């Protein structure tokens, strides 16, 4: 007689757009996130997770100590030179792209 084994499956719960927006808007120290860098036809991702906090409507991090602006959907820094950095949740980074 064959022995039955119970398999544990990982369950992933997709965030609703409202949950994702709330998590992004309310980042605080210790929260996991990534920076998405775009410009000149290139896209790259790097670990952020260095939030200091939100003050006066701007996100301050160790990387962006002058703050990032909220555009209604995301935290954004526009260098003015064609490069734009936004904040994304780590689960939204394509597999193998996070540096």
Return the domain boundaries, the chain. Answer: 17-92
Band (53; pLDDT cuts 50, 70, 90): very high
Mean pLDDT value across residues 21-27: 94
Tokens of 64: 């962006």
Mean pLDDT value across residues 37-52: 94
Label residue 28 exposed, middle or buried (CB < 10 Å: 0-12, 13-18, 19+). exposed
Closest by Cα among 85, 92, 91 to 69:
85
Band (31; pLDDT cuts 50, 70, 90): very high
Write down the pLDDT at residue 3.
57
With beta carbons less than 8 A apart as the criterion, state whether 44 and 96 touch. Answer: no
- Percentage with pLDDT > 90 across the chain: 76
Calpha distance 32→49 (Å, rounded):
5
In whole numbers, what is the pLDDT of the chain averaged over residues? 88
Q: Please name every residue paired with 70 in a beta bridge, in sequence order, or none if there are none.
A: 75
Band (80; pLDDT cuts 50, 70, 90): confident
């Amino acid at each position: 007689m064959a022995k039955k084994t119970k398999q544990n499956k990982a369950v992933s719960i997709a965030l609703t757009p409202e949950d994702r927006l709330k998590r992004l808007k309310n980042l605080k120290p210790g929260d996991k996130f990534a920076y998405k860098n775009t410009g000149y036809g290139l896209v790259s991702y790097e670990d952020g997770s260095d939030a200091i906090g939100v003050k006066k409507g701007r996100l301050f991090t160790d990387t962006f100590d002058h703050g990032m602006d909220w555009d209604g959907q995301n935290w954004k820094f526009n260098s003015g030179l064609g490069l734009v950095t936004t904040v994304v949740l780590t689960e939204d980074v394509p597999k193998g792209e996070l540096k």
